[in-house]
């Protein structure tokens, strides 16, 4: 029996007390461990997919440049780029315009140190903006209606990184107070007033970190979205009960094929029309009651209050007595035959209707004389004149005079100049304009 030891330095392997042949076999088997190649990493380590190279070009903001720097660090670490080739790899991230500008300013830009190349790229790519403008934009940020609070916090963080919130301490060190400004913007820019009121009342809210404030507001938003108000819950329950109690199934958005060709007689014009038609918003769910022409006539009737039902052919609103702001002194006008009901003006205030006194429009007496030739400064004025009371123009009115009163004052139609003017009354009735005249008062 023999005991054999390994001859490799720093190896403590020895065989057991066995026969000579067995000891030789054990020693040969142990020698295979020393002859196998040593692996520094994991045996089955697999390489990940190729990372996408970040790109940057001219005309970007400071916030976009900071985002590019973060992507560049991720790409550099994930791709295993060393310091020797970092400048060449960074130059490949520049766009066509930025790359040409770098080579024009420095032909050896790709071989410069990494810090110098980054500074040169920033000077050519970033649009310079004053710090005061950036800080003003940061303070004006607000959370949108459907925006999550974490997304709003990320937007505020990206803008705050460009504002350079640093100051020098009395000890000579630089102090960064970016997080304090971010918390102030987040607390002021919350969209929901109820959540903002609750968060502002939290004890030591100003001592919390930005992540803690974000998590606090997110929890309240999730509770608000998960538990709707009692009114909405009641409406939803009523709708569900109404849907369950209905016997007939809901009608499809598109009518059946046989319904698309159904026709009926219009009750107004006695002509055939289709019960269903397809428009810009699709097919109508309920059948039409009248034809399209009669529907338009009825719609005009609803828009003009107090109008009489017109014929089915056309509708014309004609004003029998044109509206006039200039009243004549004639007192022999015909009175309306129907009884007039005078309704005083009332205002609903303090829970009841109260009668209100309204002052009439201010009136002014004027004397009108017509100029026969207004384009000639030495022309004589017409002998006829009129003394009338007119309403002072408030800026939202037009001076009109009825033709009958105009002729009654001694003027004639030849004194009128033809004009192309269309006016409508308050009830949308057209007012026919016979002409205009030049006058002095």
Q: What is the average pLDDT across 76-90?
A: 89
- Regarding pTM above 0.75, the answer is no
Indicate whether 299 and 366 sit together in one domain: no
Indicate whether 120 and 157 sit together in one domain: no
Residue 70 lies in a domain: yes
- Tell me the percentage of the chain whose pLDDT exceeds 70: 73
Indicate whether 432 and 353 sit together in one domain: yes
Whether 238 has a pLDDT exceeding 60, the answer reads: no
Residue 52 lies in a domain: no
What is the per-residue pLDDT across 298-334, written as a single tens digit (0 to 9) for each? Answer: 888 877 655 555 444 443 444 444 444 444 444 444 5
Residue 364 lies in a domain: yes
Least confident of 7-11, 264-268, 295-299: 7-11
CA dist 187 and 214 (Å) reads 10
CA dist 380 and 371 (Å) reads 7
pLDDT at 395: 62
Token pair 């022409």 is found at 293
Q: Extract the tokens encoding 189.
A: 């820019």
Indicate whether 419 and 403 sit together in one domain: yes
Indicate whether 115 and 135 sit together in one domain: no
Pairing of strands 278-279, 282-283: antiparallel
CA dist 440 and 370 (Å) reads 7
Q: Extract the tokens encoding 306.
A: 């107090």
Indicate whether 109 and 157 sit together in one domain: no
Domain count, the chain: 5
Burial of 153 per CB tally in 10 Å (0-12, 13-18, 19+) = buried
Indicate whether 112 and 136 sit together in one domain: no
- Give the pLDDT band of residue 69 (cuts 50, 70, 90): very high
Indicate whether 429 and 351 sit together in one domain: yes
Q: Extract the tokens encoding 199.
A: 């968060």
Q: What is the DSSP letter of 191?
A: S
Token pair 């057209």 is found at 430
304 Cβ contact partners less than 8 Å away, ≥ 6 residues apart:
317, 427, 428, 429
Indicate whether 108 and 142 sit together in one domain: no
What is the per-residue pLDDT across 389-416, written as a single tens digit (0 to 9) for each? Answer: 777 766 666 777 788 888 887 788 887 8
Indicate whether 121 and 136 sit together in one domain: no
Residue 90 lies in a domain: yes
What is the per-residue pLDDT across 367-381, written as a single tens digit (0 to 9) for each? Answer: 887 766 554 444 444
Provide the residue range defining the domain that includes 111.
62-125
Residue 206 lies in a domain: yes
Indicate whether 146 and 95 sit together in one domain: no
CB of 6 within 8 A of CB of 13?
yes
């Amino acid at each position: 029996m023999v005991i054999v030891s390994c001859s490799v330095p720093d190896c403590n392997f020895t065989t057991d007390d066995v026969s000579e042949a067995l000891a030789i076999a054990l020693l040969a088997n142990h020698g295979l461990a020393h002859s196998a190649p040593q692996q520094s990493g994991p045996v089955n380590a697999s390489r990940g997919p190729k990372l996408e190279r970040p790109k940057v070009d001219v005309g970007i903001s400071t916030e976009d440049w900071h985002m590019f720097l973060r992507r560049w660090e991720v790409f550099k670490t994930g791709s295993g780029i060393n310091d020797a080739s970092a400048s060449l790899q960074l130059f490949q991230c520049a766009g066509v315009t930025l790359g040409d500008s770098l080579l024009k300013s420095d032909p050896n830009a790709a071989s410069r140190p990494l810090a110098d190349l980054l500074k040169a790229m920033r000077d050519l790519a970033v649009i310079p903006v004053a710090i005061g403008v950036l800080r003003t934009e940061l303070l004006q940020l607000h959370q949108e209606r459907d925006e999550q609070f974490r997304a709003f916090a990320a937007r505020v963080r990206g803008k705050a990184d460009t504002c350079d919130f640093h100051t020098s301490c009395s000890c000579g060190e630089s102090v960064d107070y970016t997080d304090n400004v971010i918390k102030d913007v987040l607390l002021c820019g919350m969209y929901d007033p109820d959540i903002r009121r609750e968060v502002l009342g939290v004890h030591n809210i100003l001592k919390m970190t930005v992540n803690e404030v974000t998590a606090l507001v997110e929890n309240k938003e999730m509770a608000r979205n998960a538990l709707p108000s009692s009114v909405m819950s009641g409406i939803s329950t009523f709708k569900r009960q109404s849907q369950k109690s209905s016997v007939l199934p809901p009608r499809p958005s598109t009518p059946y094929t046989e319904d698309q060709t159904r026709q009926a007689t219009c009750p107004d014009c006695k002509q055939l029309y289709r019960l269903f038609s397809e428009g810009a918003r699709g097919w109508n769910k309920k059948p039409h009651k009248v034809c399209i022409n009669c529907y338009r006539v009825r719609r005009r009737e609803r828009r003009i209050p107090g109008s009489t039902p017109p014929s089915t052919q056309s509708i014309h609103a004609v004003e029998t007595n044109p509206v006039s702001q200039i009243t004549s002194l004639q007192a022999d006008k015909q009175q309306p035959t129907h009884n007039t009901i005078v309704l005083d003006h009332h205002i609903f205030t303090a829970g009841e209707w109260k009668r209100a006194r309204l002052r009439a429009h201010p009136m002014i007496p004027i004397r009108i004389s017509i100029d026969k030739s207004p384009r000639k400064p030495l022309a004589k004025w017409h002998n006829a004149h009129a003394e009338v009371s007119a309403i002072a123009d408030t800026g939202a009115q037009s001076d009109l005079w009825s033709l009958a009163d105009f002729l009654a004052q001694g003027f004639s139609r030849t004194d009128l100049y033809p004009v192309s003017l269309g006016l409508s009354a308050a009830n949308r009735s057209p007012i026919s304009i016979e002409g205009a005249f030049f006058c002095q008062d």
